[in-house]
A and B are shown apart, each in its own frame.
Chain A
Amino acid sequence: MIASQLSIFAENKPGKLAEVTGILAGEKINIRATAISTSDTFGVIHLIVDDPERALAALTKAGVLVKIRRVLAVLLDDRPGGLDKLAQLLAREGININNAYGFVLENRVRAVFVVDVDDPEKAVKIIEKKGFKTLDTEALAAVEPFHYMKY
């Protein structure tokens, strides 16, 4: 399955993330995971949210430059070697990672690794064949971040 990630263009200066989070907070959109990549004076904010389409509409309406990117959200075991198993597979298959980040779903049980690759359709077939589970937007919206509740 393929998940949707919001990718937001932002100038690299104070207040730019707050602009985005302010809009999402107002829309009561929940953020699952974030990553920011920067290049000198600008960067891209990547977000996994529970309702990407609504977030896209709200951000666009506010003048933010945002696109939905198709990414893989791969379920991993949250234990030593969990990410390595996936990384070795990607290496063997020659799949290059453009961007990636992860978050824990359930402490010491499950984690999600979000991977941005050139051809997500092809990549998802390869890794699902090897037994990995991938989440789509709906599944990502449904999962509860249990680890927060434990603290």
Chain B
Amino acid sequence: MYWEKDIETISRDNLAALQWEHLQQTLKQAAKSHYYGNLFKKTGLAPEDVRSLADLEKIPPTTKDDLREHWPYGFVATPKDDLVRMHSSSGTTGRATVIFHTAGDLNEWTNLLARCMYMSGMRRNDVFQNMMTYGLFTGGLGFHYGAERIGALVIPAGAGNSKRQIQLLQDFETTVIHIIPSYALHLSTVFEELKLDPRGTRIRIAYIGAEPHSEKMRQKIEDIYGFKAYNSYGLSEMNGPGVAFECPCQNGLHIWEDNFIVEIIDPATLKPVPDGEEGELVMTTLRREGMPILRYRTKDLTRIVPGECPCGRTHRRIERIKGRTDDMMILKGVNIFPIQIEKKLMGIPGVGKNFLIILDREGYNDHMTIKVEVERQFFDGDLKHLEGLRKRIVEELKSDILITPKVDLVTPESLPQSEGKAKRVIDNRKD
């Protein structure tokens, strides 16, 4: 039941010793990067000043903005020739965040995914269909290599194309899938269209991740398909998937503390909160050489599940993600910030001052509607010009946020003003 029993069930004391050892290496490695080298100089801190795990707090947290501002190589700590892979988070407005990996980094990452999948019951005789986007997004390739490491047969199906997905499931008797929860629900309607029973497949395990979902949604997916669905958490800055994963107890996600130092902080005071209390997840990589990141503010809200897990693993568990400390939206597995939409809109002639993003769930499909004020001077009474503007907004946003929004043009000054703390997003999605 364990991929690496020694590590997964390591005593807390030994885990702390292991973390300390790797933290020292990581700090030294990080100091080689432009960003941390400067940070240490600027703050007068040296890696040697961190004398214990508790001292880590002395280092200022790293944010997504820091990554963006030092794009693309500011965080790289090895010679560029040692890098073998890059991934980039979704969103192309301004600077996306890029994460680089050495061959050693990929090996560690792959091992974590193998550990996650093995934990929930995947074995070498399984057929694994990966219904995630391959490419810059980490969800596709991450799971792909993890499953190969276990020795399962991998079907690199990629995202979408529902009828072909179902055909593959049937033809190759898929037993394990990796899927975005909202897509799992949508796919069940395609089963119905084809007059097929979603419970009639050989699938016994599904990994669902890349977007936050409720316990109710998980149960719904399990009920529809009759398989076990395990929650997967990750973010590209911390490799991608494989950061935290549910064990068969399905009560919290074990976060791999041999690879990451985990802190939960109060996002306002940046002080740690005790286990059990909700706060922002902050993580430090312990095994990355290409691009170590110290105290990364994930902006994800969660809490540590107190107590021991009956599965025997000693790595602490985080609860499913409750929300964000920033305004990032997740739609169909794609991360979108309102600022991306704002930047794009404000570059289009004819767009007025304000806009409002509305997220809705219709059946099993999520939709984004953007209400956009028309600029007074743009309007000349010609419907054709309005329609042209609407189409241009849709096209420009589509190429940027990878999702096709519905765009409604509205009268100037009819939306809440964008100055101050205007609510830019209304999320009507429920479970």
Contact = CB atoms under 8 A, between A and B. Distances in A.
Contacts of A98: 382, 384
B381 interface: yes
Contact of A67 (B379, B411, B412): B379
B383 interface: yes
B376 A42 contact: no
A5 to B, nearest CB: 7
B386 A5 contact: no
Interface in B379-417: 379-384, 386-387, 390, 408-414
Given A42-B410, A65-B374, 5 more contacts: A5-B381, A7-B380, A42-B390, A98-B384, A99-B383
Contact of A11 (B382, B384, B387, B408): B408
Give the bracket for the number of chain A residues in contact with chain B: 20 to 34
A43 to B, nearest CB: 7
Given A11-B408, A63-B411, A65-B374, A42 B380 contact: no
A76 B379 CA distance: 31
B375 to A, nearest CB: 9
Which residue, A9, A11, A38, A44, has most C-beta atoms of chain B within 10 A? A9
Given A9-B374, A42-B410, A69 B380 contact: yes
Contacts of B386: 9, 39, 42, 44
A7 B384 CA distance: 13
A10 B381 CA distance: 11
B383 A37 contact: yes
Contacts of B411: 9-11, 63-65
The 7 closest A-B pairs by CB, nearest first: A7-B381, A69-B381, A41-B408, A67-B381, A44-B383, A42-B409, A37-B383
Contact of A65 (B376, B390, B408): B376
Contact of A44 (B381, B413, B414): B381
Contacts of A44: 381-383, 386
Interface of A: 5, 7-11, 37-44, 46, 63-65, 67-69, 98-99
Which residue, B384, B390, B408, B409, has most C-beta atoms of chain A within 10 A? B409
Interface of B: 374, 376, 379-384, 386-387, 390, 408-414
- Secondary structure at the A interface, as helix, strand, loop or mixed, is strand
Nearest to B387: A39
A41 B381 CA distance: 16
A38 B384 CA distance: 10
A67 B374 CA distance: 13
Contact of B379 (A5, A40, A41, A65): A65
A9 B379 CA distance: 8
A11 B390 CA distance: 13
A39 B412 CA distance: 18
A144 B203 CA distance: 77
A42 B408 contact: yes
Contacts of A7: 379-382
Contacts of A8: 381
A42 B385 CA distance: 12
